[in-house]
Amino acid sequence: MCGIIGFAGKSTRLSTLLDSLRKLEYRGSDSAGVAYINSSNQLISAKTVGTTEKLMDLLPDKADAGVTAAIGHSRWATHGEPSKKNAHPHLDCSRNLAVVHNGIIENFEDLRDRLLKRSHVFLSSTDSEVIAHLIEESYNGDLIDAVKRASGELEGAYAIAAVHKDHPGVVVVARKGSPLVIAHDGSRGLASSDVTPIISYTREVIYLEDGDIACLNAEGISILTTSGEPVDRPVSHIDWDEQAAEKSGYDHFMLKEIFEQPQALRNTIAGRIRDSKIVLAELSSIEQHIQKAESVKIVACGTSYHAGLVFKRFLEENAGVSAEIDVASEFRYRKNVCDANSVIVAISQSGETADTLEFLRKNRKNCSASIAVTNTVGSTITREVDTSLFLNAGPEIGVAATKTYTAQLLLLYMLAIRIAQTRGLSEEKAKDHARTLSGIPAIVEKALVSADRETRIIAELFRNTRDFLFIGRGYSYPTALEGALKLKEISYVNASAVQAGELKHGHIALLDESFPVFAVAPSDFTKVKMASNIMEVKSRCAPVVLLTDDNASFEDQLSVIKAPFVSEWLYPIIAAPYLQLFAYHMAVLRELDPDRPRNLAKSVTVE
Ligand code: M6R
Could you tell me if the CB of 304 is within 6 A of ligand 1? yes
Cα 47 from chain centroid (whole Å): 24
Q: Residue 574 and residue 260: Cα distance in Å, rounded?
A: 14
Q: Residue 117 and residue 511: Cα distance in Å, rounded?
A: 70
Ligand 1: which atom is nearest the Cα of residue 600?
14
CATH of domain 3-245: 3.60.20.10
Residue 62 in this model has a pLDDT that exceeds 70? no
pLDDT of residue 354: 86
Burial class of residue 466, CB neighbours in 10 A (0-12, 13-18, 19+): exposed
pLDDT tens readout for residues 394-436: 878 888 999 999 999 999 999 999 999 999 999 999 999 999 9
pTM exceeding the 0.85 threshold for the entire prediction = no
Question: Sorting pLDDT into bands at 50, 70 and 90, what band is 207?
Answer: confident
* Residue predicted with more confidence, 61 or 358: 358
Residue 533 in this model has a pLDDT that exceeds 80? yes
Closest C-alpha to 483, from 566, 396, 571: 571
Going by DSSP bridges, is the β-strand pair 387-390/204-207 parallel, antiparallel, or unpaired?
unpaired
Question: Sorting pLDDT into bands at 50, 70 and 90, what band is 82?
Answer: confident
Q: Residue 316 and residue 549: Cα distance in Å, rounded?
A: 25
Residue 132 in this model has a pLDDT that exceeds 70? yes
Question: Sorting pLDDT into bands at 50, 70 and 90, what band is 1?
Answer: low
Identify whether the C-beta of residue 559 lies closer than 8 Å to the C-beta of residue 458: yes
Closest C-alpha to 230, from 238, 244, 220, 239: 220
Query: Class of 253-438 per CATH?
Result: alpha beta
Q: Residue 381 and residue 532: Cα distance in Å, rounded?
A: 44
Residue environment code for 276-299, b if the CB has 16+ CB neighbours within 10 A, otherwise e: eebebebbeebeebbeebeebbbb
DSSP, residue by residue, 177-233:
BS--EEEE-SS-EEEESSSTTTTTT-SEEEEPPTT-EEEE-SS-EEEE-TTS-B---
Tally of CB atoms within 10 A around 236: 14
So what's the architecture of 446-589 in CATH?
3-Layer(aba) Sandwich (3.40)
Q: Among residues of the chain, what percentage have pLDDT more than 90?
A: 74
Burial class of residue 365, CB neighbours in 10 A (0-12, 13-18, 19+): exposed
Tell me which of 2, 301, 338, 367 is the catalytic residue: 2
> Residue 373: helix, strand or coil by DSSP?
strand
Q: Residue 201 and residue 187: Cα distance in Å, rounded?
A: 10
Q: Residue 349 and residue 393: Cα distance in Å, rounded?
A: 10
Q: Among residues of the chain, what percentage have pLDDT more than 70?
A: 97
Interval 229-240 mean pLDDT: 86
Q: Is 602 a residue of the active site?
A: yes
Question: Sorting pLDDT into bands at 50, 70 and 90, what band is 557?
Answer: low
Handedness of CA 527, 528, 534, 538 (dihedral sign): positive
Question: Sorting pLDDT into bands at 50, 70 and 90, what band is 244?
Answer: low
Residue 226 in this model has a pLDDT that exceeds 90? no
Average per-residue pLDDT in the chain? 92
* CB contact set of 533 (below 8 Å; sequence gap of 6+): 471, 500, 501, 503, 519
In the chain, which segments carry CATH 3.40.50.10490?
A: 253-438, 446-589
Residue environment code for 207-225, b if the CB has 16+ CB neighbours within 10 A, otherwise e: bbeebbbbbbbbeebebbe
**Residue bearing the CA closest to ligand 1, atom 9:** 302
Q: Is 2 a residue of the active site?
A: yes
Identify whether the C-beta of residue 267 lies closer than 8 Å to the C-beta of residue 319: no
pLDDT tens readout for residues 296-333: 999 999 999 999 999 999 999 999 999 999 999 999 99
Question: Sorting pLDDT into bands at 50, 70 and 90, what band is 123?
Answer: very high
pLDDT of residue 549: 94
In the chain, which segments carry CATH 3.60.20.10?
A: 3-245
Whole-number Å distance, alpha carbon 405 to ligand 1 midpoint, is 9
Tell me which of 429, 431, 538, 602 is the catalytic residue: 602
504 phi, psi to nearest 5 deg: -70, -15
Residue 552 in this model has a pLDDT that exceeds 80? yes
Going by DSSP bridges, is the β-strand pair 189-192/236-237 parallel, antiparallel, or unpaired?
unpaired
pLDDT of residue 22: 87
Residues facing residue 46 across a β-bridge: 34
Residue 606 in this model has a pLDDT that exceeds 80? no
Highest mean predicted confidence (pLDDT) among 37-41, 100-104, 570-574? 570-574
Whole-number Å distance, alpha carbon 353 to ligand 1 midpoint, is 8
Identify whether the C-beta of residue 578 lies closer than 8 Å to the C-beta of residue 484: no
Whole-number Å distance, alpha carbon 301 to ligand 1 midpoint, is 6
Residues facing residue 190 across a β-bridge: 7, 183
Could you tell me if the CB of 376 is within 6 A of ligand 1? no
pLDDT of residue 58: 83
Closest C-alpha to 520, from 499, 505, 536, 551: 499
Q: Residue 24 and residue 195: Cα distance in Å, rounded?
A: 9
pLDDT tens readout for residues 134-149: 999 999 999 999 999 9
pLDDT tens readout for residues 582-602: 999 999 999 999 998 888 777
pLDDT of residue 134: 97
Identify whether the C-beta of residue 24 lies closer than 8 Å to the C-beta of residue 17: no
